[in-house]
Chain A
Amino acid sequence: MINRFLIPMVAFVLLAVVLAIGIKHAPEKGVIASPLIGKPAPQFSLPSLADPTRTVSSAALRGRWYLLNVWGSWCGTCREEHQMLLDVRRSGRVRLVGLDWRDDDSEARGYLQQLGDPYEFVAADHDGRIAIDWGVYAAPESFLVNPAGIVVYKCMGELTPAIWEKEILPRLPKAQMAGS
């Protein structure tokens, strides 16, 4: 007869395997090397959050630097990050577009109304398909894309002033930095 008291042990072994794989995939000190870096940014064409009858697409982003910020009104860290995003918008150094991930449109709109809207536009990714294309692990995440449409940097988790200054600003061209 099988010892039923072994069941917890077996379940734990399975859990340990999952956790071990989890560690392997875990971000290295908050920075994840996305396989997308150096590759073309995934295309998308999604309803606009502000006006769902309209479609926004990645094609419109060609030719200039942009920062794609993945967020959701359900995401606590996004709220913490929000002030920084407003600062980024105010700095005018890079176009900021939002990907509202697996969210309820009206809640997302309320969130932006309350906290302020830093985005040039927001694409509503209701079923999370596009986020999968971009390899989103957990919100918030931000992708820096160059005018050729190549992903040059990915910020995993909260975009902090330190990351902005150390990782993003140096990657932007001087000419654009002189602007604003």
Chain B
Amino acid sequence: MLPELGHFALILALLLAGLQAFFGIAGPMFGRERWSAAVIPAVAGQFVMVATAVGCLMASFVGNDFSVKYVAENSNTALPVFYRVAALWGAHEGSLLLWIMLLALWTVAVAVLASRLPRLFLARVLGVLGVISFGFLLFTLATSNPFLRLDPPAGDGADLNPILQDPGLAGHPPVLYTGYVGFAVAFAFACGAMLEGRMDQNWARWTRPWVTAAWSFLTCGIAMGSFWAYYELGWGGFWFWDPVECASFMPWLVGTALIHSLAVTDKRGLFKSWTLLLSVLAFSLSLLGTFLVRSGVLVSVHSFAADPSRGVFILSFLIVMIGGALSLYARRAPLLKSPAGFELGARESFLLFNNVLLVMAAGTVFAGTLAPLISGALGLGTVSVGPPFFNPTFMLAMLPLLALLSIGIHASWKRGRLGTQRRTLLYTLVAAAVLGCGLVYGIYSHGHLLTLVGATLGLWIILSSLVDPLDRLRRRLSLPRAVIGMTVAHIGLAIAVIALTMVQSFTNERDVALAPGASATVGGYQFRFDGVGPIEGPNYDGVGGTLVVTRNGAPVAVLKPQKRRYSVQHQVTTETAIHYSRGNNLLVALGDDLGAGRWSVRIQIRPLVSFIWIAAVIMALGGALAISDRRYRLARPAEAVPAAAAPEHA
């Protein structure tokens, strides 16, 4: 009964999303007040229906209803309840439902929190969100219905993919999707402005907190995925430039660019058409990511549910949404006028460089991700693109970006003179270089030039970011939350840069064959292997090893890596054991049974690797602080600033 109810709720949600789209767009277009006013009830109704559908599916999972095909394919009676809930988004159909649920949540958030925006503009924004929701609901119902029944019902389920049975799975997709989907709000704001034919500094101010919020979620989501890969996939890597990772990274890069170009549009009324384009692009890349993951055109570790017929649907949807937005852009953007320009050394220039470099970085990731596809389409044969392409090209864009960041935050708007700031910059740079040398040569006693450059740039950002806020505090001047947020986010970025540099330069890794009682020494730590014993879990069994770690005779940790065999899917997973010590992550993983009690063991020591993820959290925290700035909450009379360019309404 519940699955039918859920299915029915989804159909109603589809109808309500259609009404929301129609009323939201047609109401303002034809000047029908009542139509525009009907958008809010449609939003509320759609949310209730989607929540009902999610609740029904979740109940089927928790109640082990294996007459539901999706439940039977992704759950099992032996699966702990926690994972039965998380299994909801363990495969394609459910993750789509999660996507829709999150979009409905964002839509409700816009309807509630942005209720002071001009009514017609808000109606248009909600209408565009309705179009997106309609597309995804139609997609779900037509190609990926999670409520299909099995006849006869399965006796027991096929279990959740074992590598997904991890607390990381519970958090990673919802947070990542919240970020992905959040860019839909910026997209809708941009389309709303273009439909209205007007876009001003107020628009930028309205949009900024939404973009920052989505970006913060996406930052956390990517970091969680990377952390999960590090400890669960079993070989201690944290970023693989896998197509799906790239698909989440491209919207992040463009979203970062958007945050900065919105700042210019907000403060100075410049970059208007560019900001609109980035708003459209950030979400378009999210959609493209969905397409790449779900259609199976690119093979990746994530493509466990790829299906070309779904690809055709998403592609059509992509063409409608992105094509529609871009053709609107081509018609409306030429009408936008910008006020007078700025000098070369002004902050605007630095933000322009920031945007160019970030979009360039996103472009290289895009090219690398799609290269196999493009070369296939042109009949040029197979190409494979991996870290040898991504690492250097990405760094090419990132190094100048980091170097310009410190200078940019000290530049003033409009005018190109750095003035007294020049001395501050010089001092902080020298200090950073000295500290960088200390870090690289003092602690690690050797290093590549690039290592020194990375460490110095990171430290420079931290030091130079702190100068201005500390000065303000000393002089008891007010420090807006937006400035604190920016500083925190930049420091987070710097920490990530330093950590990545150290990890890339000083990772110590060995694969050794160890008999019980034998030891291996890696990076100053001694690892003694005490053999393996059997282990038993709720839905798996396997072996667990014990390694006693010491440093100069002093005990450090006892690590217990496992190799699990999940009983239903007969899949083996490697559970790494990780210990944090003196800034290093010690990771051990069991390899193969070499016979006679000997095992191959991977021992990896990564310095500062935890800081990569901590840095992401700091960046997201910076975003949260910036959103909480009161200037975004003050009600502004919408008609206060005249439209820069307002063509006649169609």
Report which of B298, B299, B329, B377 forms a contact with A5, defined as CB distance below 8 A: B329
Contacts of B153-184 to chain A: CB distance below 8 A: 163
**Which residues of chain B are near A115, meaning CB under 8 Å?**
591-592, 600
The minimal Cβ–Cβ distance linking B289 to chain A, given in whole angstroms, is: 12
- Judge whether B306 is part of the interface by a CB distance below 8 angstroms: yes
Pick from B17-25, B314-322, B496-504 the stretch touching chain A: B314-322
Interface string of B490-522 (1 = CB under 8 A from A): 000000000000000000000100000000000
Residue of B273, B277, B318 near A16 (CB, 8 A) is B318
Within 8 A of B (CB), among A121-161: 128, 131-132, 136-139, 156-157, 161
Rounded to whole Å, the gap between the CB of B581 and the closest CB of chain A is: 23
Question: Which one, B333, B370, B602, contacts A114 given CB within 8 A?
Answer: B602
Q: Given A102-B384, A115-B591, A22–B330 Cβ distance below 8 Å? A: no
Binds B, one of A47-55, A59-67, A74-82: A74-82
Q: Which of A6-14, A37-45, A92-100, A170-178 contacts B (4 or more CB under 8 A)?
A: A6-14
Q: A22-B373, A114-B602, A115-B592 are in contact. Are A137 and B322 (CB under 8 A)?
A: no
B330 in contact with A128 (CB, 8 Å): no
Residues in B whose Cβ lies below 8 Å from that of A29:
296, 306-307
* CA of A86 to CA of B377, assembled, Å: 35
Query: Residue-by-residue, is B291-330 near A (CB-CB < 8 Å gives 1, otherwise 0)?
Result: 1000111111101001110011001001100110011011
Interface pair B311/A110, CB less than 8 Å apart: no
* Interface presence of A18 (CB below 8 A): yes
Say yes or no: is B572 at the interface (Cβ < 8 Å to chain A): yes
Bitwise interface map of A from 12 to 29 toward B, beta carbon under 8 Å scored 1, else 0: 110111111111011111
What B residues does A9 contact at CB under 8 A? 323, 326-327, 329-330
Cβ of A180: which chain B residues have Cβ within 8 Å of it?
A: none
B555 neighbours in A (Cβ, 8 Å):
none
Query: Are B374 and A76 interface neighbours, CB within 8 A?
Result: no
Closest chain A CB from B508 CB (angstroms): 14
Closest to B308 in A: A26
CA A23 to CA B306, docked complex, whole Å: 11
A8 to B334, CA, bound (A): 13
CA distance A75 to B173 in the complex (A): 23
Tell me, in angstroms, the Cα distance from A20 to B291 when the chains sit together. 11
Q: Which residues of A contact B298 (CB under 8 A)?
A: 138
Check A22/B297 contact, CB under 8 A, given A102-B384, A110-B511, A131-B382. Answer: yes
Q: Is B438 an interface residue (CB 8 A)?
A: no
Contacts of B323 in A (CB 8 A): 9, 12-13, 16
Known: A110-B511, A114-B600. A3 touches B384 (CB 8 A): no
Residues of chain B in range 428-457 having any CB-CB distance to chain A below 8 Å: none
Interface residue B376 (Cβ < 8 Å from any Cβ of A): yes
Does chain A have a CB within 8 A of B534?
no
Question: If the complex has contacts A22-B373, A102-B384, are A27 and B296 also in contact, measured as CB distance less than 8 A?
Answer: yes
Looking at the complex, which one of A5, A23, A76, A116 makes contact with B242 (CB distance below 8 Å)?
A76
Q: Does A35 contact B (CB under 8 A)?
A: no
Q: Is the CB of B312 within 8 A of A23?
A: yes
Q: Is B372 an interface residue (CB 8 A)?
A: yes
Q: How far is the CB of B513 from chain A (nearest CB, A)?
A: 9
Q: For A8, A20, A131, which residue has the most chain B Cβ atoms within 10 angstroms?
A: A8
Cross-chain contact B570 with A161 (CB below 8 angstroms):
yes
Closest partner residue, chain A, to B565 (CB atom): A83
Question: Contact check: which of A5, A23, A79 meets B334 at CB < 8 Å?
Answer: A5
A86–B592 alpha-carbon span in the complex (Å):
10
Question: How many Å lie between the Cα of A17 and that of B300 in the bound state?
Answer: 22
Complex interface: chain B residues within 8 A of A22 (CB) = 295, 297, 311, 373, 376-377
**Interface presence of B387 (CB below 8 A):** yes
Select B235's contact among A23, A79, A128, A132, beta carbons within 8 Å.
A79
Closest to A135 in B: B382
What is the total number of residues of chain A having a CB less than 8 Å from a CB of chain B?
A: 47
Least Cβ–Cβ distance between B273 and chain A, in angstroms: 7
Given contacts A76-B242, A77-B301, contact A3 B370 (CB under 8 A): no
For A179, what are the chain B residues with a Cβ–Cβ distance below 8 Å? none
B382 touches A132 (CB 8 A): yes
Whether, in the assembled complex, B381 has its beta carbon less than 8 Å from a beta carbon of chain A, the answer is yes
Q: Contact between A26 and B511 (Cβ–Cβ < 8 Å)?
A: no
A20 lies within 8 A of B315 (CB): yes
Whether the pair B370, A18 counts as a contact (CB closer than 8 A) is: yes
> Closest approach, in angstroms, between the C-beta of B246 and any C-beta of chain A?
13
Judge if B386 is at the interface, Cβ distance under 8 Å. yes
- Judge whether B240 is part of the interface by a CB distance below 8 angstroms: yes
Q: Which of B326, B381, B602 has its CB near the most chain A CB atoms (within 10 A)?
A: B326
Per the bound structure, the CA–CA distance linking A19 and B322 in Å amounts to 14
Contacts A18-B370, A18-B373 given: A23-B319 contact, CB under 8 Å?
A: no
The residue in B284, B295, B308, B333 that gathers the most chain A C-beta atoms within 10 A of its C-beta is B308
* B378-393 to A contact mask, C-beta < 8 Å, 1/0: 0001101011000000
Rounded to whole angstroms, the CA-CA distance of A125 and B374 in the bound complex is 23
Report which residue of A13, A30, A76 has the largest number of chain B beta carbons within 10 angstroms of its beta carbon.
A76
- Known A26-B297, A136-B382; judge A76-B240 contact (CB<8 A): yes
State A176–B382 Cα separation when bound (angstroms): 35
* Interface residue from A8, A13, A18, A27 paired with B377 (Cβ < 8 Å): A18
Instruction: Pick from B295, B511, B572: contact of A83, CB below 8 A.
Output: B572
Residue contacts A-B, CB under 8 angstroms, 18 given: A5-B329, A12-B284, A18-B373, A20-B315, A21-B377, A26-B295, A30-B306, A72-B384, A76-B240, A79-B233, A79-B234, A114-B591, A115-B592, A115-B600, A132-B381, A136-B382, A139-B384, A157-B303
Chain B residues at the A interface, C-beta cutoff of 8 Å: 163, 233-235, 240, 242, 273, 277, 280-281, 284, 291, 295-301, 303, 306-308, 311-312, 315, 318-319, 322-323, 326-327, 329-330, 333-334, 370, 372-374, 376-377, 381-382, 384, 386-387, 511, 570, 572, 591-592, 600, 602
For the complex of A and B, 9 pairs with smallest distance between CB atoms: A21-B377, A114-B511, A22-B297, A138-B299, A5-B333, A9-B326, A116-B592, A26-B308, A23-B311
Instruction: Give me 14 other A-B pairs in contact (C-beta within 8 A), A29-B307, A131-B382, A132-B382 excluded.
Output: A13-B323, A18-B373, A18-B377, A21-B376, A22-B377, A27-B308, A76-B300, A77-B301, A80-B163, A80-B301, A114-B591, A114-B602, A137-B376, A157-B303
